[in-house]
A and B are shown apart, each in its own frame.
Chain A
Amino acid sequence: MGRIVVDKISKQFKIGCTKKQSALGGFLSLFSGTGPTRVIWALREVSFTIGHGEIVGIIGKNGSGKSTLLRLIAGIYDKTCGGVKTWGKVVSLINFRLGVHQYLTMRDNIYFISSFLGLSRKETAGRLDSIVRFSELEDFLDAKMYQFSEGMRQRLVFSIAVHSCPEILLLDEVFEVGDREFQAKSAYIIKELVAGGAAVVLVSHNLDLIEKYCGRAIWLEDGRMKGVGPVVEVVEKYKESV
């Protein structure tokens, strides 16, 4: 049974560009603040299936459509055509901002962020100790977030995400945070989630990391799927192409 089924999915964006315009067009653009646009296809007919208990890596150059694909799976973007279906709770960690309130304490922020990841106050209260312990920030529970370093903030957000019981976890360049010890802990908890039936999709430029954790890999280039299969084979082909 699949966790994620992506069927011939395509995504189109309209982006700004320079174009020869009439004097009136240029005048109107100057005042309206909107310029001419052109259409680009961020993704073209991408299809794959990810089953439960799988870690799949997505590799490709900048602008190949990796993050767009992740956002389509998470339901953040609307597809232009094709289909995507997921079974289970989707938790996406595409950046570490996640609405962190600088002037609130870490405790308040844990409750705040957890509510976006689908946890009720009661559920969060039950996991509070574990979240804090995992992020190794026990001494800062009542400190304001603006006093936190970037690394501390990343550890906290990562800890909340993995404690929100994801059945599908989408990570965009946010896997290896913190020091070595924390990275080992993160890897262990991800493996636990996967053993429990979750599917993890990992987007990264770090090919060693992809090879280390993923069973399969998907290679995107210019929005098209260039390869899919066992991680070693796909990464090898990708390395040859660049």
Chain B
Amino acid sequence: MSEKVGGNNINYVICCNGRSGSHLLFSLLKNTGIAGNGLCEKMHERHIEEAQIDWEKKDVKKFIEEIFESGRTPNGVSGFSLKGRQLRHFAHVLQRSKRHRGMSEEDILSCFPLLNIRYIWLTRKNKVEHAVSWLKAEQTAVWWVKRGEGEKGMRKNPIFDFGGIVGRMVEFERREKKWKKFFEKNGIFPLRIEYEEYVKDFKGTVVKILEYLGVPLPASLEISPDFLKQADAVSQDWVRKYHEISTGKKRYYCYVRCVKRVQSFFCLVSDEWERRSRLYGRFLRRLQQVKGTLRLSTVIAKAEIKSRNEGSYLGVLWYLLNPLLMFSLLLAVFSPRLGRDILQYPLYLLLGIIMFNFFQQATTESTRIIRHNDKLIKSVNFSKAALVAAMILKTLFSHACEMALFVLIALFFKVSVVGAIFPYFLILILFCLFCFGVSLILSALTVYFIDMENVWGFAVKLLWFATPVFYGTGGQSRLFLMNLSNPMYYFITAARDVVVYRHNPEPWVLAGAVFYSLLSLGVGVFTYNKLKAQFAEMI
């Protein structure tokens, strides 16, 4: 583990782009014997591919910890160089797995251990020489020459390519900007080393880095680079040629501009892809948040249900008492008059009561939920929507108990409800969304208007009488027209059609249920998001 107790380990990353002298710098550090002794490029494309890691099972954080651990010197120092290109490749490899889908380059960097990590930002001031170095290495396939190895055979003789140099320069600038953005965004102050400066003074650079890392300097410091400088007469000739063309001849200006434009177009396209990938990542993160909220709301709901029934002799039977009493009373009073023309009136009435009960319980409790949890809200930062969602889940539990009672009574009246379970389930989902939306609005508004609890109690009573729970709308066109603007009418009618009368609800009834559930959810989420920031200070 890199995050050892005692914090003695020191991790460092040399952030750079290709051909900026990272191998040379790393070899200087490695040869001191006190600044890591592993591979220079631990996240090189080849190493990543060859490792054949199953990213469905492997955690990125763990992987990064492991690569820091490999190659740690006895004094606890470890590091490696990381190029923008390698980071991008690593992100692509990770994105192939379901577990890391949507993971961006920034997400990978955020997995680096925060403890004792130091960033060294290696750049080249002279962009022309940088681009020439890359192009020459690419053409000859000689990327480095080790001390004592002699000259390597070139794959082919290098050919001057003006467009290639311009293209590389644009690319390097873009990658450098990305590192800069990463450092700024994360409040990192890296040690900036310029290639041109450090090749003049190896020892000074190594001392500067060791001091930055907080590694005590030994009495004698051995400085021996493993690599030779590759810039030669050909490189100098190419640099000269580039300057001649770009400054001397007019027709080449157009060429330079053209190449730069094409290059920046591709950069734009590539940036657009990255932006989309970031958006996708953000979407996945949002999804994770929703998942987290649901998980938390399940925990709260379970605790609430358990807490309510703890020590109770009748337990869940209490859930049934209220609808049962209401049902018996209304059936006795209204059955001979209002229920005469309604088919299966007892079931019609009971389902109406159960559905309305759900709405009443969920929404009434939502007016208290934020204030009741004031200590918690003032102490911990968590999604307050989880409290509202938990209340819906809790009400869903009592609804399930009430529906069990309904099934028993339906069996008594010789009505089978087995085939109605699935369609009712779909209607219940819409109904839950509707109740959740209304509850979100009420929970947020009650924080600002304390009277909302009383107002809502009154409004629910009115709605109870306005909704055809114990009466029907048949033959009363005015009542029917009034109920078209009552959301509860659609949900109760659809549920009765499916469960009591065993036929599909009318399309307009279904459309009304979908419309009101989406409307309520949309308005609820909007209102809640607008008002939630002040919850902690208003309660």
Contact = CB atoms under 8 A, between A and B. Distances in A.
Interface of A: 1-3, 5, 13, 32-33, 52-53, 71, 74-78, 85, 87-88, 90, 92-95, 97-99, 101, 103-104, 108, 111-112, 115-117, 120-121, 144, 167, 192, 195-197
Contacts of B307: 101, 103-104
B380 interface: yes
Contact of B379 (A88, A93, A112): A93
Contact of A192 (B5, B114, B379): B5
A179 to B, nearest CB: 24
A127 B186 CA distance: 31
Given A87-B187, A108-B306, A115-B295, A76 B381 contact: yes
A215 B296 CA distance: 36
B114 A197 contact: yes
Most chain A CB atoms below 10 A, which of B379, B382, B450: B379
A196 B6 CA distance: 7
21 contacts: A1-B117, A71-B536, A74-B380, A78-B534, A87-B187, A94-B378, A97-B375, A101-B307, A103-B307, A108-B306, A115-B295, A116-B376, A116-B380, A116-B382, A121-B299, A144-B310, A195-B7, A196-B3, A197-B7, A197-B115, A197-B116
Contacts of A117: 380
B306 A98 contact: no
Interface of B: 3-7, 113-117, 186-188, 295-296, 299-300, 303, 306-307, 310-311, 373, 375-382, 450-451, 533-534, 536-537
A150 B4 CA distance: 35
Contact of B299 (A87, A94, A112): A112
Contacts, number: 101
Given A87-B114, A101-B307, A103-B311, A2 B187 contact: yes
Which of A3, A5, A90, A112 has the most CB atoms of chain B within a 10 A radius of its CB?
Answer: A112
List 3 A-B pairs, minimum CB-CB distance, nearest first. Answer: A197-B115, A97-B375, A78-B533
A92 B381 contact: yes
Contact of B5 (A98, A108, A144, A196): A196
Nearest to B188: A1
A112 B303 contact: yes
Contacts of B115: 52-53, 196-197
Contact of B378 (A76, A85, A93): A76
B207 to A, nearest CB: 22
B114 A97 contact: no
A128 to B, nearest CB: 15
Contacts of A52: 114-116
Given A1-B188, A87-B186, A104-B303, 19 more contacts: A71-B536, A74-B381, A76-B377, A76-B379, A85-B187, A93-B379, A95-B378, A98-B375, A98-B376, A98-B379, A103-B311, A104-B307, A108-B303, A116-B296, A116-B382, A117-B380, A144-B310, A195-B6, A196-B115
A74 B381 CA distance: 6
B187 A33 contact: no
A144 B303 CA distance: 13
B186 A1 contact: yes
A108 B295 CA distance: 15
A112 B303 CA distance: 7
Contacts of B306: 104, 108
A104 B5 CA distance: 36
A150 to B, nearest CB: 14
Contacts of A120: 295
A103 B310 contact: yes
Nearest to B309: A103
A115 B295 CA distance: 9
Nearest to B382: A116
Nearest to A196: B3
B3 A71 contact: no
A115 B187 contact: no
